[in-house]
């Protein structure tokens, strides 16, 4: 279990994490979500003692990370890409970690087999692809058979088979009673993997709830209806007190009314339907709605910023360009 209490981190005047309090419990996969710059990586680094909190506290199974003996046997983590010497083989990289934490050498062979790297175990890691590097990082996290696991963007570089494998691995680890905490920007994958969500924005806690409750609270489902008799359907809906919105392709989008009720209503009025399809809310929609006000980096669809919002270096460059620089 991971317990965060008022966890805060300042970098000068910048507040990266702002009084964050939550508990990551064992037995489930907890997803950690937030826009870029929300403070996710800083939070995970503080969990591992890599960054010192400005204020607050974080404990792993009731202890500070610095107080853990042989920490790889308590908590395993994948936080950075390629955190190893490129001239060292996968086997020797893991063996070094094992020896530093008094982990039997046979465990190295076990985790290499688990992540599918046995055939390249003696090859230097400098020739590894991104996906192979991710697998090696996951092997290092599993090495001490830890009770707590942290994964930051674990599917980066993995092919579809690898993504399916890591998804099932995280679920299996949680089913064994371990604490599994995973950060990712890939919403479709997180929706299939996580049971619970912790969502932050600008360093502050926005949500700490189950996946189902998060989606239900922050997005809305609707029923899509398409007919060759749109005016007749509009009149029937109006007479029943049902409000519908028209979509770009001429279909109707109707909220708060079930598909069965709409089908019955159309049948009562002899209206032919070409489509009657419930559109379920998604994690992506819910996330976008909740975090819209906390996004730090916005794209502008190729349109230039107004002059007063352009950075100083941009104005200087434009001026020099105008002078033939």
Is a pLDDT exceeding 80 seen at residue 177? yes
pTM over 0.85: no
SS3 content of the chain, % helix, strand, coil (to 5): 40, 25, 35
Is a pLDDT exceeding 80 seen at residue 142? yes
Contact 194, 186 (CB under 8 A): no
Q: Which residue did the predictor score with more confidence, 221 or 112? A: 112
Mean local confidence (pLDDT), 23-33: 96
Looking at residue 150, its pLDDT comes to 96
Mean model confidence pLDDT for the chain: 88
Consecutive H or E run containing 2? strand 2-11
Looking at residue 81, its pLDDT comes to 62
Record the tokens describing residue 149, joined without a space. 């696991």
107-121, 286-300, 306-320: the lowest-pLDDT one: 306-320
Q: What's the rounded Cα separation, in Å, for the pair 234 and 185? A: 40
Is a pLDDT exceeding 70 seen at residue 321? no
Helix (H, G, I), strand (E, B) or coil at 200: strand
Looking at residue 311, its pLDDT comes to 44
Looking at residue 240, its pLDDT comes to 95
Q: Residue 310's pLDDT band (boundaries 50, 70, 90)? A: very low
Distance spanning both ends of the chain, measured CA to CA: 59
Mean local confidence (pLDDT), 233-251: 92
Is a pLDDT exceeding 60 seen at residue 126? yes
How crowded is residue 86: how many other Cβ atoms within 10 Å of its Cβ? 11
237: Cβ contacts below 8 Å, ≥ 6 apart = 243, 244, 252, 254, 265
Q: Which residue did the predictor score with more confidence, 158 or 108? A: 108
Q: What's the rounded Cα separation, in Å, for the pair 302 and 318? A: 18
Helix (H, G, I), strand (E, B) or coil at 121: coil
Question: Could you give the domains of the chain?
Answer: 2-217 (3.40.50.300), 220-279 (3.30.70.790)
DSSP tag of 11:
E
Q: What's the rounded Cα separation, in Å, for the pair 212 and 256? A: 18
Looking at residue 87, its pLDDT comes to 86
Q: Kindly write down the DSSP assignment for every residue of 161-175, as one continuous string.
A: HHHHHHHHHHHHHHH
Consecutive H or E run containing 139? helix 130-142
Looking at residue 218, its pLDDT comes to 83
């Amino acid at each position: 279990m991971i317990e965060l209490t008022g966890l805060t981190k300042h970098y000068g005047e910048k507040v990266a994490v702002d009084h964050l309090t939550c508990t990551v419990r064992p037995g489930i996969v907890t997803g950690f979500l937030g826009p870029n710059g929300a403070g996710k990586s800083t939070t995970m680094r503080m969990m591992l003692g890599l960054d010192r909190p400005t204020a607050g506290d974080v404990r792993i199974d009731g202890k500070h990370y610095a107080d853990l003996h042989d920490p790889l046997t308590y908590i395993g983590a994948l936080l950075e890409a390629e955190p190893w010497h490129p001239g060292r083989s996968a086997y020797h990289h893991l063996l070094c970690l094992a020896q530093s934490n008094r982990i039997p050498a046979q465990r190295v062979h076990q985790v290499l087999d688990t992540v599918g790297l046995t055939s390249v175990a003696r090859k230097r890691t400098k020739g590894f692809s991104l996906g192979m590097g991710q697998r090696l990082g996951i092997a290092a996290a599993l090495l001490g058979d830890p009770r707590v696991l942290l994964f930051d963007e674990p599917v980066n570089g993995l092919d579809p088979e690898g993504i399916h494998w890591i998804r099932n691995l995280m679920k299996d680890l949680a089913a064994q009673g371990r604490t599994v905490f995973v950060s990712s920007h890939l919403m479709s994958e997180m929706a299939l993997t996580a049971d619970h969500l912790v969502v932050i924005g600008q360093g502050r806690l926005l949500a700490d709830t189950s996946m189902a409750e998060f989606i239900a609270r922050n997005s809305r489902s609707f029923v899509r209806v398409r007919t060759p008799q749109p005016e007749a359907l509009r009149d029937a809906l109006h007479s029943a007190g049902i409000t519908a919105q028209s979509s770009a392709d001429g279909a109707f989008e109707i909220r708060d009314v079930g598909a069965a009720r709409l089908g019955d209503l159309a049948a009562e009025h002899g209206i032919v339907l070409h489509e009657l399809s419930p559109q379920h809310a998604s994690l992506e929609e819910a996330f976008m709605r909740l975090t819209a006000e906390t996004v730090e980096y916005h794209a502008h669809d190729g349109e230039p910023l107004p002059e007063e919002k352009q950075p100083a270096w941009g104005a200087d460059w434009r001026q020099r360009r105008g002078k033939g620089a």
